[in-house]
Chain A
Amino acid sequence: MRSEDLLPLQERTADRPETLSKIAAGGFRMIGGRNRGVGGFQKSTGKEIYTDDIVLPGMLHGKILRSTEPHARIQSIDTSAALALEGVHDVITGRDMPTAYGIIPWTPDEHALAVEKVRFVGDAVACVAAVDEDTANAALDLIDVEYETLPYYLDPEEALTPEAAETPIHAPRKPGGNGNILKRVQLEFGPVDEKMSEADVVVEGEYYFHGTTHAPIEPHCAIARLNQDGLLELWSATQVPHYLHREIARVLGLDVAKVRVVQPAVGGAFGGKSEPFDLEFCVALLALRTGRPVKILYTREEVFYSHRGRHPMKMKYRVGASEDGRILAVDAETILDGGAYASFGLVTTYYSGQLLTAPYEMESYRFDSTRVYTNKAPCGPKRGHGSVQPRFAFEISLDKVAERLRMDPIEFRRGVFMGTGRTVNEFRVQSNGFLECLEAVEKASGWKEKYGKMPYGGGLGVAGSCYISGTNYPIYPNPMPQAAVQVQVERSGRVTVLHGASEIGQGSDSTMAYIACEELGVPLDYVRVFSADTDLVPVDLGAYSSRETVMVGNACLMACRRVGDLVRGSVAAEWEVEPSRVRLAGGWAFDVKDTERRMLIAAAFQLAEAEHGTLGAVGHYNTPKEGVHGDYRGATIGASPAYSFTAHVAEVEVDPDTGFVDVRTIWVAHDCGRALNPVLVEGQIEGSAYMGHAEAVLEAQEYMVGEHEGGLHNAPSLLDYRIPTSMDCPEFVPLIVESNDPEGPYGAKEAGEGPLHPSLPAIANAIYDAIGIRIDSLPFTPPRVWQAIQDAEAVKQAEEVA
């Protein structure tokens, strides 16, 4: 078929010519529209391919033997009986992969399979490859491991005792250091003690966040294959293909260029797939050793034990305020329960303090955070990494301050709004729609009519928050771009976007497609998006810290504009007008001053291809380095190109007889800079508030104590861990606020993590409004709330007697 033959068909999918004058008048064609997603039908028709859907010829199945001890030295591992079993192809142990790894280059403390020691129940010890899963499972039973048990610590304060330091979980990294402490961060901004002493009101409190996990519905899965030409291919349900790529090569001693990492569709991640896991190293090594493709699929229990979820934190907060409602000083002391390995813990320790300093003006701030190892599954980054827990403590503290000052909690927050400029810890904030967020939830919730006026048991609570749109620096220091996109433009009108971002359900593929449509003027179904295959796409750092819309979006914008300029130039030359008069939109190239002058977009591409040769471009993004943060040690951690803001109002109904907290509605207003597609932004707001609500009232990653069961996960199943069903959720009301950040593509900022934070303190504050009792420890389960009511009653009665 000649390209001319396509044109009549293209005219049918392009915008109607009479609508072009409207587009020419200004505004976006694609951005901001309630558009379909890319690949939506793949998902709704069951055609999408996730890792476990891939079956390769001759594929073996792997299974991992896991530690039954929370802390023990490995005396011996006998794999001979397992190896002798018919159908078993290989068994590997820690000896076969002695190189330590870790997502943070300064704290590599993990091995794919345990070397010398196991540090939590569930630590990987050996791995079998067999013809099928049943045989692999049978072989695990035949592996004999002898352990010398060691004292174990499930509570971080226990791990901090001098006795515990004598048999530490890890060898101290510095001589004389404590092997149970990963990191301590102490930072102070402004004269905290002085300001605190000037305060008219000082509120002190101890707060506890209990630990939760991501629980994506898709369990982790990985497949490796050795190609005949010596290329190791790895398919994995990961959200960081690039970091995985580097670590696989390093641990296995391979050239990075001889490893290919492919991320198929991922069935949810939320931070739970953002570092390398034992299964990826195991399938890779087993594929190299057996010459056969090898797959490992975690069981649901393994997903719970692989964890990397939100750290339990014990937090002491002191907040001092002036009579006229200024925050003079904030003083925080936090112990982070890290579990058995470092994971992202070094960053988490910083984040537990660094991300608290907006949207409110605080005149001085100090935090002291210590991350401690314990013999439990490692904690890491879960949606809202490191900052959901302190936000819980801080927003309750602010509510208490407002009450002491006899101010409405929303009014008080308005009064301490920081606007744009510098936070107390010197982060640069260029856009801040928090006031509009407060306004939106105040209005939508009927706050003025209801707050403090509902019958006993019913209440409203408010909370605010701030989050990063990507981290200003990559995990391993390097000056190269943090995101890159390659765009191919073909004479048929088809545009292909190759990018490294990880589509994990948040819509990064769709976002890149919308940008390509906006810039190159093609309809959505002319865009193909290929992502997260290290052999095909430029490097991107992955789906973490809400970085993709800003970073990959900007890279995509640059690539598309480079090609778009060529196309506009060629069309302008053809029409003998200035290139600025040519607009590409809705399937056309047209003259904005005379929309009768137009050609189908494919014809425009053909003109440009004739002039410039094959059309394509690359674009990249690197974060601004000047003037975005201070220069103290740690100043870079928590710095971001742009910050999002959120306000929640939650309405609860507390049953005093049972302690059951029914969260009725959560109104969420989120400043995402600009909603590139409101459907996706609403989806992120709703999903975030859902997850935060669940952490407040339902979920708990907890471990058993006791001689025989110590260190076992309390509830490693979706039902017992209690992720919410469709019957358990409040109504979520998403409200979008657009502040148009100068650093974001079209002004966009993140929307995937920020809207989670205020859920927990808003519910806590609503419970106080409902029953007049402060509960500062999570989760708000019926037994805890009921007990709190009983305790308050007892105090009241005692006071009456006295």
Chain B
Amino acid sequence: MKDVLTLRVNGDQVEVGVPTHYTLLETLRYVLGLTGSKQGCDKGDCGACTVLLDGEAHLSCIMPVYEALGREITTVEGLADGPYPHPLQDAFDLTGAAQCGFCTPGILCSAHGLLAENRSPSRLEIQQALSGNLCRCTGYTKIFEAVEVAAESLRSGKDPRDIVAERYEVALPARSMQPLEESHA
């Protein structure tokens, strides 16, 4: 038995036919093909499925798709500004915060939710905001650092690259997603 629902996902209004018992994660991954959100446990333990609903982080693997009706759903695919990565995405790349990358989409959404409310989070506030997202590779250190770099970028308007370069006193290559003309160091 399938139902036809209208959802708002990453700024688009989409109609989907889903089995009535589907979760939001199943709908995103297997109906809409938005595979950025991950399934790590399917029971709300790991946070790899985290998406934003009206800007707030939620676990999509334990959320019936019906609960997302009428809400603005943002997945990792919707964080960038067109070809320009969100400062969080750039900061993750610069600081080595994504190793295998499987938890990264969920962590980015949780961090995005945090920075929407608090642009100067302390280390503890970052730890708390990410406490529902398990990472098995990094020990979290570089993830905290990436969120701090992104927060500073959002506050100051500085390029995350310059912030990281200042921290380590090194020159870093340009964002590879930037158009060539702007990329000269």
Contact = CB atoms under 8 A, between A and B. Distances in A.
Nearest to A48: B101
Nearest to B103: A217
Nearest to B41: A300
A45 B76 contact: yes
Interface string A258-290: 000000011111100000000000000000000
Please classify how large the interface on chain B is, using the bins under 10, 10 to 19, 20 to 34, 35 or more. 35 or more
Contacts of A36: 93-94, 172-173, 176
Contact of A686 (B127, B139, B181): B139
A505 B140 contact: no
A668 B9 CA distance: 44
B48 interface: yes
Nearest to A719: B45
A524 interface: yes
Contact of A679 (B35, B42, B96, B103): B96
Given A48-B101, A726-B127, A217 B46 contact: yes
Contact of A732 (B38, B75, B94, B141): B141
A679 B132 CA distance: 25
Contacts of B19: 134
A46 B105 contact: yes
Interface stretch (A49-57, A100-108, A120-128, A773-781): A49-57
A34 interface: yes
Contacts of B101: 39, 42-44, 48, 265, 267, 505
Nearest to B89: A44
Contacts of B126: 726
Contacts of B173: 35-36, 523-525
Nearest to B77: A46
A718 B46 contact: yes
A216 B136 contact: yes
Contacts of A726: 126-128, 130-131, 133, 135, 140, 143-144
A218 B100 contact: yes
Contacts of A46: 34-37, 75-77, 105
B38 A267 contact: yes
A12 B79 contact: no
B183 interface: yes
Contacts of B8: none
A55 to B, nearest CB: 8
A218 B38 contact: yes
A718 B40 contact: yes
Interface in B25-70: 29-30, 33-43, 45-46, 48
A34 B172 contact: yes
A504 B139 contact: no
Contacts of A53: 29, 35
A689 B139 contact: yes
Nearest to B180: A9
A383 to B, nearest CB: 11
A268 B137 contact: yes
Interface in B99-125: 99-105, 108
Interface string A11-50: 0110010000000000000000111110111111111111
Interface in A498-545: 504-507, 523-525
B102 A217 contact: yes
Nearest to A525: B176
Contacts of A671: none
Nearest to B129: A726
A217 B102 CA distance: 7
B35 A49 contact: yes
A212 B165 CA distance: 39
Contacts of B5: none
A300 B100 contact: no
Contact of B136 (A215, A525, A732): A215
Contacts of B164: 34
Contacts of B34: 46
A396 to B, nearest CB: 23
A454 B139 CA distance: 27
Interface in B65-99: 75-77, 79-80, 85, 88-90, 92-96, 98-99
Given A16-B185, A47-B36, A267-B102, A41 B43 contact: no
B90 to A, nearest CB: 8
Contacts of A52: 35, 39
Interface in A729-750: 729, 731-732
B10 to A, nearest CB: 10
A48 B98 CA distance: 12
A214 B173 CA distance: 34
A37 B99 CA distance: 9
Interface in A127-148: 134
A505 B99 contact: yes
Contacts of B108: 44
A208 to B, nearest CB: 25
A288 B175 CA distance: 45
B104 A717 contact: no
A131 B88 CA distance: 39
Contacts of A687: 99, 137-139
Given A16-B185, A217-B48, A504-B100, A690 B139 contact: yes
Contacts of A35: 172-173
A40 B98 contact: yes
Contacts of B77: 45-47
B105 to A, nearest CB: 5
B41 A50 contact: no
Given A34-B168, A217-B134, A45 B41 contact: no
A650 to B, nearest CB: 14
A680 interface: yes
B4 interface: no
Given A47-B77, A687-B138, 16 more contacts: A13-B183, A13-B184, A36-B172, A43-B98, A43-B101, A46-B34, A300-B43, A505-B100, A524-B173, A525-B176, A682-B142, A691-B136, A726-B126, A729-B139, A729-B140, A732-B139
24 contacts: A12-B183, A36-B93, A36-B176, A40-B93, A41-B93, A41-B177, A43-B101, A44-B92, A44-B104, A216-B100, A217-B38, A217-B46, A217-B103, A265-B100, A267-B38, A504-B100, A683-B137, A687-B137, A723-B134, A725-B132, A726-B130, A726-B144, A727-B127, A732-B139
Per CB-CB distance, the 6 closest pairs between chain A and chain B, nearest first, are A46-B36, A267-B102, A505-B100, A43-B101, A690-B139, A46-B76
Interface of A: 9, 12-13, 16, 33-37, 39-50, 52-53, 55, 134, 214-219, 265-270, 297, 299-300, 504-507, 523-525, 679-680, 682-683, 686-687, 689-691, 717-719, 723, 725-727, 729, 731-732
Interface of B: 19, 29-30, 33-43, 45-46, 48, 75-77, 79-80, 85, 88-90, 92-96, 98-105, 108, 126-128, 130-144, 164, 168, 170, 172-174, 176-177, 180-181, 183-185
